[in-house]
Structure 1
Amino acid sequence: MASSNLRPRSCSFAILLISFLNLILFILSAASIAPIFLIKNPPTSSLAYAFLVVSSISLLSSLVGFCSQFCPRAHTPLILASSLGQLLAVLTLLAGEGPALGMLKSPRDPREAKVLVRLECGVMVTMFAAEVAVLVLSCAVERCCVARECDEGGAEAAAKDDWGTKRSQWMAKVQDEEEMKRIPAMRDVV
Structure 2
Amino acid sequence: MAASNSKLRSSFSFPNLVLSCLNLILFLLSTASLAPILLLKTHPTSLGYALLISSFISLLSSFIGFYSRLTHFCFMTHISFVLASLASQILGFLALFTKEKSSLSKLDSPRDPKEAKVLVRLECGILMAMFVLQVVVLIFTCALHRCWMKEYEGLEEEREKMAAKRSMKMAEFGEDSMVDGAKMSEEKSKELDEKVKSKLKLCD
Alignment of 1:12-161 (within 5 A): 12-43=13-44, 45-69=45-69, 70-71=72-73, 72-160=75-163
Q: Percent identity?
A: 45
CA distance in 2, matches of 1:99, 1:112: 16
The ranges of structure 1 where at least 4 consecutive aligned residues each deviate by more than 6 angstroms after the TM superposition are 163-171
Tell me if the contact between 2:30 and 2:59 (Cα under 8 Å) persists in the aligned partners.
yes
Query: Do the aligned partners of 1:47 and 1:104 also contact (CA within 8 Å) in 2?
Result: yes
Q: Is the 8 A contact 1:68 1:74 kept in 2?
A: no
| CA RMSD of superposed structures (Å) | 2.6
Q: Please give the alpha-carbon distance, in whole angstroms, between the structure 2 residues aligned to 1:158 and 1:51.
A: 54
Q: CA deviation at 1:127?
A: 0.9
Aligned residue type for 1:130:
L
Higher relative contact order (CA 8 A, sep 6+): 1
What is the aligned partner in structure 2 of residue 182 from structure 1?
none
> What is the number of residues matched between the two proteins?
172
Name the aligned partner's letter for residue 60 of structure 1: L
1:88-135 deviation digits (Å, cap 9, x = unpaired): 111111112111111111111111111100100010011111211111
Q: CA offsets per residue over residues 141-180 of structure 1, 9 Å max, x none?
A: 2111110111112223444566678899998xxx9xxxxx
Moved more, 162-171 or 8-17: 162-171
TM-score under structure 1 length normalisation: 0.79
Answer whether contact 2:86 2:131 (CA < 8 A) is retained.
yes
Asked if 1 retains the 8 angstrom alpha-carbon contact of 2:15 and 2:144, the reply is: yes
Q: TM-score, normalised by structure 2?
A: 0.74
Question: What 5-or-longer segments of structure 1 have no aligned partner?
Answer: 176-190
CA distance in 2, matches of 1:156, 1:135: 31
Q: In 1, distance between residues paired with 2:110 and 2:3?
A: 53
Q: What do residues 2-41 of structure 1 show as CA deviations (whole Å, max 9, x unaligned)?
A: 4971643332222111110111111111110010011112
How far, CA to CA, are the matches of 2:101 and 2:118 in structure 1? 12
Tell which structure's C-alpha radius of gyration is larger. Answer: 2
Distance 1:3 1:26 in 2: 32
Q: Determine if contact 1:8/1:148 at 8 Å carries over to the other structure.
A: no
SS of equivalent to 1:107: coil
Compared CA separation, residues 132 and 34, structure 1 to 2 (3 A) = same
The verdict on how the C-alpha distance between 1:98 and 1:149 changes in structure 2, with shifts beyond 3 A counting, is: same
Structure 1 distance, partners of 2:66, 2:146, is 19
